[in-house]
Structure 1
């Protein structure tokens, strides 16, 4: 009710008082009224402040505040997603006597526009669903009705279906709606009726909030992203190499499990290692690998691990069979394990290195069949990239390093290829993101990072 009251006040104010003001007063109100398109709602308190204080200065102050929100985000990422360490690059930094242009301060990446389009499309469905699908309309399998094609559009906008038959209510429609009915504990008859329409509206409202949350995440990014860049989309299980707006390569990717999450970060890829050595993190060596050695004695030798007495750089190598592994526990495990290059090496043939405090990197795998798994969030934090050799060769080709790479590939020992120009790498987390053709897809919140952010909207 308070939002309605505020809207009524500002409508009266704009129609009566602003008629006598300069054009800038109307422009300020128009500027604020455009913000919901971007997933930013002007608070009732701010509308009331403008209505009560009939001066342009108040409206301009509020516009300047929301300009900062549009520029760098309204919410503090340190509280709403503490692991987000990608630095932003605000463009709008100080009050300005002129009205800022939205196009100059909004994120300048194509995905932002796709999410805006999806957001406003779902808002239209929210408003029109009752008229398009009135209470008396019930669709059964085999029904021919003009509302079917509109239902198709709604389901696709919600990312609940792919292409469906037009005009005739088919088994495919019934299957989609039955799954929705089961989720909302409705009678699973697969029919479109008032209760199922309400379930679709509930999903629509939730999707709107998810889109607003992910638009906010985009505002936490730098305003413009460089080319070339490597983009690791955690929730989308995809790594992309984008050398220009028109040239991009995409690779299926295995990411960290919910207990060992792949971190959100920005860094620069400095080198490519061919035949990498896996320096096993202590947490993995002392837990899962020690468990395997105890279960299958000789595991370390068969898998090509070298053992070092401790974690000092000058620590001596010791014989694998000189240690009583059965007597060790996770707490008493002080050794360093390094797996040598070869077919069994967990990192596979290639590793892309970049500085970060988490010790993660992009790498190949010794088990490519895992990319066919239904669950791709199963690594210990690093990103395993399918067909990584294509990614490596594309980068080397772009940097004129193919001769060196080809020579290194002939070797069985570790070889580090330093890039001529470092490539920015962004590891990001978005639960709504456009696909290759611009259709927004909604992803599972695999790390449960949406809860606080979505609830705010």
Structure 2
């Protein structure tokens, strides 16, 4: 597809988010505009639509003045009218009121169905266009689906209905999340009064509010349906249900109902529906084929999963970027491993983090095993850090380069996993293992710290005879720096999901640590957030 979307796809990495929004005719706070999206997607231009009819040798596909909707027309009207099952809006795809607009000639009315179906194909395969560019750190931009070519293929299939049903993602995660969308739409019809949050509840508590918590957890599926709602005592059955609810909502599963748990219990079904809807959108943005072996990081969930042949091989905790230094969303490859790496401090971190520590204690540099160079030039000489009067240097004038030697205090730990992206984002070990015990782990400067680098390295090097767990462990503790190339690059997907269904079929919800949900909900016109 060689339209404006194709051109945009080639230009996108060179543009700032604001420029992207201007190109789309959008700005923060503006709802999704299907007309603008059509203009940017080359596949919806009138000439492309006309070519579909010319290639098929037909003047009408969906509707004729004599007979009304054709057999295929009835199929797509049925499909598009139920687009809300996918978290989409039927009104974005169907002609107004599904009847003839008197301002349109019959052939243009038929083409309006074609245009709507093209938009649906593109949205269901790639995600809605505005959603892709609302996020300033979304670098996961695949080649767009050629909706026109795909539609022509579908129209030639023997079973058009089955072909249409094959368009959405077929992954179990997507299908399971769709099921929860339907489930929460039913729950949304129930009364959802706010719980009284004044009394902390825990095992052994006796309080009238306990019965309301029981009722809420039964509706949500965390408490068995046959549990007695009139019981005011916080018993072991309720404890298990509360811990399960807390785990599903990214909270510390301590079984105590305090402010955070009350807040999660009081989130309305309508808000959960919004969250599910935008995460269906994010699933549509993932490549259809993730590969036979891959690694996936979910930033809000603070976790990493490694998958081989469809089976989860390992899962571990991670630390991700803090809100002011967000971890970007991107698709990449892991290509190698550096053992006992040095760390060259990025300029921003040197100015904002390192300089205040140096000013507080000049011995910090030696104690942390840093080397200092006069500039960032390749041949810049090394200097004695005590020869510099750090007190008079402002952050804006800090042009020294700082390199931390390998060792127990090195910020990258004993191992660094090399990626190919141009944003200097990679995975690495850390000497501060205690931080993985925190429930909220958005505390890094953008890179991803992994809790169990040895096991991850073992997975990545699995096909290698040389790099066994034993040899990897030896390289991590050796006095020599070593670099190992992976037997084959492993795809890695750094994602941002705040709602997913786990392997046990349970809906997991996480905090929107970077505020991305609210932007996406707004740009897609899904209503206000709580």
* Contact 2:173-2:501 at 8 Å conserved across structures: yes
Q: Is residue 448 of structure 2 the alignment partner of residue 448 of structure 1?
A: no
Moved more, 420-429 or 39-48: 39-48
> Which digits, 9 at most, give the CA deviation of each residue in 1:402-440, with x for residues without a partner?
256355235223211111211111111111122342322
Deviations 1:370-389 (A, max 9, x none): 11123311111111110111
Task: Please name the residue that 2:116 is paired with.
Answer: 62
Partner of 2:139: 85
Aligned to 2:297: 232
**Equivalent residue for 1:428?**
495
Q: Is the 8 A contact 2:318 2:450 kept in 1?
A: yes
Tell me if structure 1 keeps the 8 A contact 2:296–2:494: yes
Q: Supply the distance in 2 between the matched residues of 1:201 and 1:331 (Cα, whole angstroms).
A: 46
d(CA) in 2 for partners of 1:384, 1:28 = 47
Write the distance in 1 (CA, Å) between the matches of 2:356 and 2:381. 24
Q: What is the aligned length? A: 408
Question: Cα distance, 1:92 vs. partner?
Answer: 5.0
Who is 1:307 aligned against?
A: 372
> Of residues 424, 438, 457 in structure 1, which corresponds to 2:505?
438
Deviation at 1:286, TM superposition (A): 2.4
Separation (CA, whole Å) in 2 of partners of 1:214 and 1:224: 18
Matches within 5 A, 1:95-244: 95-96=151-152, 98=155, 99=160, 101-127=163-189, 129=190, 140=208, 151-156=216-221, 166-168=227-229, 169-171=231-233, 203-244=268-309
Structure 1 residue 252 corresponds to structure 2 residue 317: yes
Q: Deviations over 1:62-108 (max 9, x none)?
A: 23321222111224245322321112344452142724624422123
Secondary structure of residue in 2 paired with 1:345: coil
| The one of 352, 361, 381 aligned to 1:296 | 361
TM-score (norm. length: structure 1): 0.80
Q: Distance in 2 between matches of 1:51 and 1:330?
A: 65
| Contact residue 70 and residue 106 of structure 1 kept, 8 A | yes
Q: Distance in 2 between matches of 1:393 and 1:296?
A: 40
Q: Note the residue ranges of structure 1 that are not aligned, 5 or more in a row.
A: 1-16, 134-138, 177-189, 191-198
> Which residue of the partner structure matches residue 4 of structure 2?
none
The answer for the alignment partner of 2:443 in structure 1 is: 378
1:72 aligns with 2:129: no
Q: Does 1:46 pair with 2:100?
A: no
Give the conservation status (yes or no) of the 8 Å contact 1:109–1:224.
no
Distance 1:142 1:408 in 2: 55
Is 1:29 aligned to 2:71, yes or no? no
Match of 2:45 in 1: none
Per the alignment, in what secondary structure is the counterpart of residue 142 of structure 2? coil
* Distance apart, 1:357 and its partner CA: 2.4
Alpha-carbon contact 2:342-2:406 (below 8 Å) kept: yes
Q: 1:25 to 1:374 in 2, by over 3 A?
A: closer
Inter-partner Cα distance in structure 2 for 1:370 and 1:376:
7
- The whole-number CA distance in structure 2 between the counterparts of 1:293 and 1:25 is 71
Q: Helix, strand or coil for the counterpart of 2:375? A: coil
Structure 2 CA distance for partners of 1:21 and 1:372, relative to 1, 3 Å: closer
Q: Is the 8 A contact 2:372 2:382 kept in 1?
A: yes
Matches of 1:340 and 1:350 in 2, distance apart?
A: 13
Calculate the TM-score normalised by the size of structure 2.
0.69
Distance 1:200 1:357, change over 3 A: same
List alignment gaps of at least 5 residues for structure 2: 1-64, 194-206, 243-256, 258-263
Give structure 1 regions of 4+ aligned residues with deviation exceeding 6 angstroms. Answer: 17-20, 147-150, 162-165, 173-176, 199-202
- Residue 51 to residue 394, structure 1, CA distance change in 2 (3 Å): same
Distance change in 2, residues 1:18/1:294 (3 Å): farther
Secondary structure class of the residue paired with 2:78: helix
**Residues 262/448 of structure 1: CA separation in 2 closer, same or farther (3 Å cut):** same
Using the alignment, how far apart are the partners of 2:267 and 2:397 within structure 1?
53
- Give SS of 2:516's match: coil
Q: How big is the shift at 1:48?
A: 2.4
2:431 alignment partner in structure 1: 366
Contact 2:336–2:419 under 8 Å retained in 1: yes
Separation in structure 1 between the aligned mates of residue 265 and residue 305 of structure 2, nearest angstrom: 33
Query: How far off its partner does 1:245 sit?
Result: 0.9
Contact 2:340 2:482 in 1 (8 A): yes
CA-based RMSD: 3.3
- Whether the 8 Å contact between 1:235 and 1:431 is mirrored in structure 2 is yes
User: 1:20 & 1:140 partners in 2: Cα distance?
Assistant: 61
Assess if the C-alpha contact under 8 Å between 1:87 and 1:222 holds in 2.
no
Residue 277 of structure 1 deviates from its aligned partner by: 0.5
